[in-house]
Chain A
Amino acid sequence: MFKSLVSKLNPVQLSCGFHTTACMNEVRLLSRLRVVDNSEIGKRAMAEGKPPKVICVYNKKHVGYIGDRVLVAIKGQKKKGILVGMKQKQSVKVPKFDSNNVVLIDDNGTPLGNRIHVPIPTILRTILKEKTHSKGADYTKLLAIATRFV
């Protein structure tokens, strides 16, 4: 909007004076995600066209990367989830997906659904294993319900 305003004010100069970037496709606060497991709440939210919103990313950068834990607002409830597929540019050999995928889990790391119906990147095996502590939550249960790895 600001760009168009500037061009209206100064019709001769075609290039604007400041820099605008393309969409980074990052997972930040209030970005919408796609629930890819078959949990009841997730299925209903996606069917109603009200996908979950990120209200917290549990890392220090506040930008969600692959395997990060997020807190989402879904159908008026707060649920935790794990990012299992990202739209933003990935490093070599890590798959990039067409949507930001999330699998809902509870506090112990147990997934709410019992099946994931999209492919899961294999690198998630290592990432989730590293994130799991012996006393804390066990996130590797998520890998057991995956149907396919790419």
Chain B
Amino acid sequence: MNQADVSKLVSKLRINVLPKHRNLNNPKGPEGRIDKLRKTVTGLIKFERIELNYNRADEARQYAERLISEAIRHGDCHKPTMDTANFWLLEKELIHKLFKVLVPRYEATNLSYTRLISAPQQQYGRHTDKAVLELRGNPFPDLMNYKTNNKLLIQNVLLDAAKQDYKQSKINEIANNIGKKGNSSLDKSSKNIEVPEKPTES
């Protein structure tokens, strides 16, 4: 039974934390592990959505959550927090992003700051669990897409536009044909319209 460390105060994370850390096999030992995680956290803050192995994603997620919660608690005028951000973010312009974009974004939220979604496995080759790690409120389309009949969904908007374009081009073609040859080529054009429309419907 150990006494809790009272010299530092931390705010609670809104994600599940394993009792023990994962070692993330590497030849340089603990230092190499931290280096690996630094790269991942930097990538996450930079791109807001990354795909990687599940174990590394879960470890990096905890560190990213801690970094953001420290930034929210202390702000950018606190020297130790600034040091920590400087250590974890390898690209220094991301420190500005952390304090000026992510902190206002997550200040009032009650959810975790990141999402971890397990990605489909490879069908062939070595089996490794893959995962997608993303910041909440990122500008990309949602990965967990249950409402597929929503009109405003990016895929549906694009499909609708494509359909519209195709129909328009066909109508134009027919109109041109009518002007040129009259009723001789009507049968061919009607066939042409029906055949390519099948994939758009499905």
A and B touch in the complex (CB under 8 A): yes
Query: In the complex the two chains form, what is the Cα distance from A14 to B29 in whole Å?
Result: 7
Q: Interface size (A, Cβ < 8 Å)?
A: 4
Query: In the complex the two chains form, what is the Cα distance from A13 to B32 in whole Å?
Result: 12
Query: Who on chain A is nearest to B27 by CB?
Result: A12
Q: Does residue A15 face the partner (Cβ distance < 8 Å to B)?
A: yes
Whole-angstrom distance between the Cβ of B32 and the nearest chain A Cβ: 10
Query: In the complex the two chains form, what is the Cα distance from A14 to B28 in whole Å?
Result: 8
Query: In the complex the two chains form, what is the Cα distance from A118 to B28 in whole Å?
Result: 51
Query: In the complex the two chains form, what is the Cα distance from A13 to B28 in whole Å?
Result: 7
A2-48 contacts to B (CB < 8 Å) = 12-15
Query: Who on chain A is nearest to B29 by CB?
Result: A14
Query: Who on chain B is nearest to A15 by CB?
Result: B29
| Interface 0/1 of A55-69, CB less than 8 Å to B | 000000000000000
Query: Who on chain B is nearest to A14 by CB?
Result: B29
Chain A residues near B27 (CB-CB < 8 A): 12-13
Query: In the complex the two chains form, what is the Cα distance from A58 to B73 in whole Å?
Result: 63
Query: In the complex the two chains form, what is the Cα distance from A14 to B30 in whole Å?
Result: 10
6 interchain residue pairs of minimum CB distance: A12-B27, A14-B29, A15-B29, A13-B27, A13-B29, A12-B28
Chain A residues with CB under 8 Å of chain B are: 12-15
